[in-house]
Amino acid sequence: MQDQLERLPVPAPVPVSATHGSCKAGPSYRLPEPLADLLSKLPPYPASWLFVQGLNRLLAPQLPDDVRRSLEGRSLRLRLLDAGIAFDFEWQGTVFVAERYVDVPELCIAASVHDLMLLARRQEDPDTLFFSRRLSLEGDTELGLLFKNTLDAIELPPFDLHALGPRRVLAHLRDRGARGG
């Protein structure tokens, strides 16, 4: 699985000072403008729904019970600064659920796509990105520390990229629908 993460393209470094909305981050890298423009036009809710499907396939199974209890009903936002999009979601019972119309989330995590890819590949750690102002955690401090410590504790490889293939995701959703959940 780590090989799959290492083969993923990391967006080319193009220095930019990124600030969007209520979440800020310092100098980082950004997506090419045409791709960023396309992504920024995605409607918020369907994009959040798609995002949580990935979270539920990749991250939810790895969350310890104490983390699940701490996340219950807490509103979270992930902002991709260079893409101009944000995903609002929360943990409900056994899965992440997309949220609509969140004014101010309890925790906002903001970074560029490039920096999030570095985090996923374990080529950067959250502390380094945070202290270099490339990763922003705003809101509930305790929830931010829970996020950071959970990332640090997840065993490699955390992401099965094959699980995100369109056929596998659709089959998973179909199976979940057939089970009534």
The pLDDT tens digits of the residues spanning 44-75 come to 889 999 999 989 988 899 899 999 999 999 99
Place of tokens 């509103």: 75
Name the amino acid, one letter, at 35.
L
Condensed to tens digits (0 to 9), the pLDDT of residues 83-102 reads 999 999 999 999 999 998 88
Q: Are 94 and 57 within 8 A, CB to CB?
A: no
Where residue 101 falls (left for φ over 0; alpha for ψ -120 to 50; beta otherwise) is: left
Please tell me which of 9-13, 120-124, 154-158 the model is most confident about, judged by mean pLDDT.
Answer: 120-124
